[in-house]
């Protein structure tokens, strides 16, 4: 299999994994497909499934953790697990997208790109859904990261 074929297959697996969570109810700090998850739980579960290793477990957090902490914990964790950020122009289906609600606060929301204009995320009002990456979402993008390939055995 060529590198291009392998990459396309890897990205398709990530998108399929993300879409398999659609319909899961929103549950703060949860990460169980069909039972409940928040955006972090969704991304952590997909990372573990695809990369073949668990992402670090976060400490308990309140819904307003990003506004109070002053630390960009999502971006720091993404760098530890996925390496440096990807420029928006190079974003592809299967990449992790992190959002910042407003300037000066930490990134607080995460999802998986399913194409250039859509992403899957756990949204408090709707559970896990696939949304259009419209302007109101695009302008809030704080970082994009790539899920690494699985560790060979």
| Domains assigned to the chain | 3-145 (3.90.1720.10)
CA dist 29 and 26 (Å) reads: 9
Average pLDDT over residues 23-50: 96
pLDDT reading at 1 higher than 70: no
pLDDT of residue 58: 79
pLDDT of residue 67: 60
Average pLDDT over residues 25-52: 95
pLDDT band at 6 (very low <50, low <70, confident <90, very high): confident
Strand ranges across the sheet with 109-115: 127-132, 118-123, 109-115, 96-99, 141-145
* SS3 labels along 4-54: HHHHHHHHHHHHHHHHCCCCCCECCCCEECCCEECHHHHHHHHHHHHHCCC
Query: Do 96 and 11 touch, CB atoms closer than 8 A?
Result: no
What DSSP designation does 66 have? Answer: H
This prediction's pTM: 0.92
Per the prediction, the chain carries an average pLDDT of: 91
pLDDT reading at 57 higher than 90: no
pLDDT band at 139 (very low <50, low <70, confident <90, very high): very high
Average pLDDT over residues 132-139: 97
pLDDT reading at 33 higher than 90: yes
pLDDT of residue 153: 54
Residue 139, classified by CB atoms within 10 Å of its CB into exposed (0-12), middle (13-18) or buried (19+), is exposed
pLDDT reading at 152 higher than 70: no
How far lies 53's CA from each of 14, 27, 45, 82, 111, in Å?
14, 23, 10, 12, 19
Residue 120, classified by CB atoms within 10 Å of its CB into exposed (0-12), middle (13-18) or buried (19+), is buried
Average pLDDT over residues 53-68: 74
pLDDT reading at 39 higher than 60: yes
CA dist 45 and 30 (Å) reads: 10
């Amino acid at each position: 299999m060529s590198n291009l074929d392998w990459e396309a297959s890897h990205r398709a697996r990530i998108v399929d994994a993300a879409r398999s969570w659609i319909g899961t109810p929103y549950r703060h700090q949860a990460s169980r497909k069909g039972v409940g998850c928040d955006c972090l739980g969704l991304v952590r579960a997909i990372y573990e499934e695809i990369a073949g290793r668990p992402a670090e477990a976060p400490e308990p957090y309140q819904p307003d953790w990003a506004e109070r902490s002053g630390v960009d914990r999502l971006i720091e964790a993404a760098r530890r697990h996925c390496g440096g950020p990807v420029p928006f122009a190079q974003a592809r289906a299967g990449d992790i997208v992190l959002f910042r609600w407003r300037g000066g606060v930490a990134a607080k929301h995460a999802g998986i790109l399913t194409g250039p204009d859509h992403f899957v995320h756990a949204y408090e009002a709707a559970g896990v859904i696939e949304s259009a990456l419209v302007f109101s979402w695009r302008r809030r993008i704080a970082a994009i990261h790539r899920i690494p390939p699985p560790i060979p055995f």
